[in-house]
Amino acid sequence: MRYKGIIFDMDGVLVDSEPIYLQEVINYILDELKEDVGYLELKREMNKIVGASDDKMFEIMSEYLNHKYSLEEIKAGMWSKDLGLDYRTILNPHVLYVLPKLKAKGYKLAIASSSSMENIKTVTRQCGIASYFDCMVSGVDFKETKPDPAIYLETLRRLNLKPEEVIAIEDSTYGIQACMVQIFV
């Protein structure tokens, strides 16, 4: 059977942003909150945020810090940081080669990301890849995001494709869980 579409996660797949985001969380806890925790333990625990939505990330951080800080305090602290990332510098190799080839072969392409739509648009615009995607879907628009499959169901609906007609490209446990559910829908 010929596939008709490919759904990409963004962070960790199209751009190698996950290590940068992870380090920012670690720096925030160690340097700004001045928490006295071991770096390796903190890094191991914060690896749980990879692929998570912002809200889930804040929950994981709050839980790790024994709810010493409210979710609002953590959000405010993290959102006050401007990473000023130039996403072109972390664009994964071969993306600029692969996307035009897939589009030329007639595949429908989409992004299904836990990131905000603002961030998705920033990344795709900076990297010059926005025009390759038939749709871009943000997990922020759903009550639950990855591993909940809602983002994939909506992306399939927008592409007008069935689960068996699509390949999903993911890098995180949350994302893999979300798209694997589609096999059984």
Q: Which residue is catalytic, options 9, 11, 54, 171?
A: 9
171 tagged catalytic: no
What is the C-alpha to C-alpha distance for residues 107 and 110, in angstroms, rounded to an integer? 10
Element (H, E) at 180: helix 173-180
What is the C-alpha to C-alpha distance for residues 37 and 151, in angstroms, rounded to an integer? 35
Residue 7's alpha-carbon distances to 37, 83, 161, in angstroms, are 38, 27, 11
Q: Give the strand pairing for 166-169 and 5-8.
A: parallel
Angle at 95 between CA 157 and CA 19, to 5 degrees: 90
What is the C-alpha to C-alpha distance for residues 115 and 10, in angstroms, rounded to an integer? 8
Tell how far CA 105 is from the center of its chain: 26
- How many Cβ atoms from other residues are within 10 Å of residue 133's Cβ? 19
Query: What residues are annotated to the active site?
Result: 9
